Amino acid sequence: MLIRRVSILAVTMLAFSSTIALAKPTLLLRQVIAQSPLSVPHPNGGKSGGWLKDLNLTSQQLQQIKEIHNQSKQQIAQKSQEIRQGQQELHDLITGTATKEQVRGKYNQIELVKQQLTDTQFENTLAIREILNPEQRQKFADRMYKKNVRPNPPPAAQHN
């Protein structure tokens, strides 16, 4: 009985850790895509524009980004909900009496939806990229990858 509990715990940990690890690359894209062009300051004043303000976008570019965001907003929300629901179902299968094949099937189903979500987010990034000039593209790329790059840890002190 103890072995069974330990096995279930190990499988659960692996399933959820791989889910988190696989989801992490999409977090940055989701953050970039989910930024609302509406937060860009209006000529009369207003909120700080964040990454969009940093790009010095024209009003036409802002409108195009807003359209890109609006076109995929529902699809992204639906896929995100499917993933959350699938993860709950996977948890229930792992803790229940489901067969290994049922658990694996649910896991594969979740991974497929995650890939679809990532593809949609990537397509949005490409669409935004297409409306930017070279200088804006550089700032866009720097902003996207800045948060994922961690500084190298200082070298360990050498003891002779």
pLDDT digits (tens, 9 = 90+) for 53-76: 788 899 999 999 999 999 999 999
In a domain, 95, yes or no: yes
In a domain, 17, yes or no: no
Looking at the structure of the chain, the number of domains it has is 1
Structural domain harbouring 106: 76-138
In a domain, 147, yes or no: no
Q: Which of 15-29, 53-67, 106-120, 138-152 has the largest mean confidence? A: 106-120
pLDDT exceeds cutoff 50 at 89 = yes
Per the model's pLDDT, the better-predicted residue between 129 and 7 turns out to be 129
In a domain, 30, yes or no: no
In a domain, 89, yes or no: yes
Region 125-137 average pLDDT: 93
In a domain, 100, yes or no: yes
Q: Per 3-state DSSP, what percentage of the chain is helix, strand, and coil (rounded to 5)?
A: 75, 0, 20
Reference 139, options 22, 72, 49; nearest CA is: 49
Write out the DSSP string of 59-119. Answer: HHHHHHHHHHHHHHHHHHHHHHHHHHHHHHHHHHHHHTT--HHHHHHHHHHHHHHHHHHHH
Q: What is the pLDDT of residue 142?
A: 87
In a domain, 42, yes or no: no
Show the CA angle centred on residue 93, arms to residues 88 and 95, nearest 5°.
95
Q: What is the pLDDT of residue 85?
A: 98
pTM higher than 0.85 for the full model? no
In a domain, 94, yes or no: yes
